[in-house]
Amino acid sequence: MSKAITGGCQCGAVRYRVDVELSNPHLCHCRMCQKAAGNYFMSLASAPREKIVITRGNPAWFHSSDIVRRGFCPGCGTPLFFDPVNTDEMLVTLGSLDDPSRYTPTSEDSVESRVHFLPHLPGLHQKVTEDDFGPDEIKAISESNHQHPDHDTDRWPGEDKQ
């Protein structure tokens, strides 16, 4: 493994490490994943359960079915894990990785539930953040950002508020 695989939630309360390369990076379009992600699909990849190590905090869990539970940050709600409870594998959400571009999806699952316009998205008008917001807004967002950085830290800033 070339670079450590780490990830976590938006606020930094829950962090994890994967001690093996992830496999089967994919987009799931099933209705449960759409609801869990609050989006049109959920991007996931798997690893043996014992190779996924929680390094900070504790995720909350919701059983979306009798055979699957989903882990998320109890503070900010970031979806982190898809856990088929009767298997040796667990999946992480690719968007929660510190480097989400590390894994390119190789398949789309449950395409019967895919929203009809998704294949047409590459043709949409492309916007750059700096074109939509003025320098004062960008500065205000940057200076008041509460998002945890995309790397492990010695402490979680949210601990000061508890």
Tens digit of each residue's pLDDT (9 = 90 or more) over 9-59? 999 999 999 999 999 999 999 999 999 999 999 999 999 999 999 999 999
* Strand stretches in 29-145, DSSP E: 42-48, 52-56, 60-65, 68-72, 79-84, 89-93, 107-109
Question: Which pTM does this prediction carry?
Answer: 0.84
Mean pLDDT of 136-151: 70
Instruction: Mention every residue, 6+ apart, whose C-beta is less than 8 A from residue 131.
Output: none
* 116: its two tokens: 């009809």
Mean pLDDT of 108-120: 88
What is the model's pLDDT at position 149?
Answer: 66
Mean pLDDT of 91-98: 98
Residue of higher predicted confidence among 94 and 141? 94
What is the model's pLDDT at position 152?
Answer: 79
Q: Which domains does the chain have, with CATH numbers?
A: 5-143 (3.90.1590.10)
* Strand stretches in the chain, DSSP E: 5-8, 15-18, 23-28, 42-48, 52-56, 60-65, 68-72, 79-84, 89-93, 107-109
Confidence band of 139 (pLDDT split at 50, 70, 90): confident
H/E stretch holding 130? helix 129-132
